[in-house]
């Protein structure tokens, strides 16, 4: 009986010692994580996982590994460990945190359909107003970084009328040029698409070349030089005409990219809210 008591005592001490070591390992890994030493933090969290046979710290360790990879820009690796953390979460909030971080990784790596799919699932799983607001917030970010500013404005508008990001998205959408409109007016008047996008010099040149091309083509026809008219029209005038249309589209795309990039710079440097 005495030997059994001693055995049980040693067994309990061993369990307590192992538990204490796991907590120390977790604290050490957390210190590295908090000091942004992510590479070493990943190593220590993985060591913790190896010795944690009861999986007591599996959620936190895998979650922090995912965040460490995310901070380093390794989004595929981050998602891999965040999915493991999701499967080992003991609470619904833990599952939500893991899934939202996966969404944020998908936003950053521009796999928007995956991010939106997860958010749609979360919208059903977490119907309360508090969770719905966070889901709308990240859906807005997904649309915004996918250059869908109008959809983003709608999502941010669900949070608060006049929300800072809703105002930003609305401003960007209203500032952007229409590629279709530029193309149509360029069909009607070559060079006008450039004028529409504020590119006046290319617009003047495009209009001038088309006028010259048209003049020489018509002049050749009136002088009954059909072959010359065909050559000038096909190799000269029509080339400038098509170039005017294509150039206007490219000009609008360039201007829209500048507008979007200006908004992204604001988000990166001046926006104080939570970012992906």
* In the chain, domain spans: 14-109, 179-267
User: Which stretches does DSSP call E strand in the chain?
Assistant: none
Residue with tokens 């990219």: 257
Predicted pLDDT at 110: 92
How far is 184 from 187, CA to CA, in rounded Å? 5
How far is 165 from 138, CA to CA, in rounded Å? 12
pTM: 0.80
Predicted pLDDT at 234: 62
Give the distance, in angstroms, between the CA of residue 86 and the centroid of all CA atoms in the same chain.
22
Residue 177 DSSP label: P
pLDDT confidence bin for 181, thresholds 50/70/90: confident
Given a cut of 60, is residue 82 above it in pLDDT? yes
Rounded to 10°, the helix 92-108/75-87 angle is: 170
Mean pLDDT of 218-239: 65
CB 99 within 8 A of CB 86: yes
Predicted pLDDT at 215: 63
CB 71 within 8 A of CB 36: yes
| CATH code for the structural domain at 14-109 | 1.25.40.10
pLDDT confidence bin for 219, thresholds 50/70/90: low
How far is 194 from 200, CA to CA, in rounded Å? 6
Tokens of 233: 């029209």
């Amino acid at each position: 009986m005495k030997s059994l008591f001693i055995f049980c005592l040693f067994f309990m001490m061993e369990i307590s010692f192992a538990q204490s070591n796991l907590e120390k390992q977790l604290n050490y890994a957390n210190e590295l994580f908090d000091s942004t030493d992510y590479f070493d933090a990943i190593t220590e969290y993985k060591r913790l996982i190896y010795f944690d046979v009861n999986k007591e710290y599996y959620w936190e360790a895998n979650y922090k590994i995912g965040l460490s990879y995310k901070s380093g820009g390794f989004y595929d690796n981050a998602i891999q460990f965040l999915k493991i953390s999701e499967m080992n979460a003991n609470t619904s909030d833990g599952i939500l945190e893991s899934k939202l971080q996966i969404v944020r990784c998908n936003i950053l790596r521009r796999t928007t359909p995956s991010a939106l799919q997860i958010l749609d699932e979360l919208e059903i799983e977490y119907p309360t107003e508090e969770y719905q607001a966070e889901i709308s917030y990240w859906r807005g970010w997904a649309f915004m970084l996918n250059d869908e500013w109008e959809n983003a404005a709608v999502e941010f508008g669900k949070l608060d009328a006049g929300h800072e990001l809703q105002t930003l998205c609305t401003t960007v959408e209203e500032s952007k040029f229409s590629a279709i409109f530029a193309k149509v007016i360029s069909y009607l008047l070559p060079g006008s698409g450039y004028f529409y996008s504020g590119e006046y010099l290319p617009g003047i040149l495009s209009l001038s070349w088309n006028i010259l091309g048209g003049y020489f083509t018509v002049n050749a026809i009136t002088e009954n030089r059909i072959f010359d008219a065909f050559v000038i029209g096909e190799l000269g005038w029509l080339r400038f005409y098509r170039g005017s249309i294509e150039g206007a589209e490219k000009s609008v795309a360039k201007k829209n990219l500048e507008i979007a990039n200006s908004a992204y710079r604001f988000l990166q440097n001046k926006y104080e809210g939570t970012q992906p």
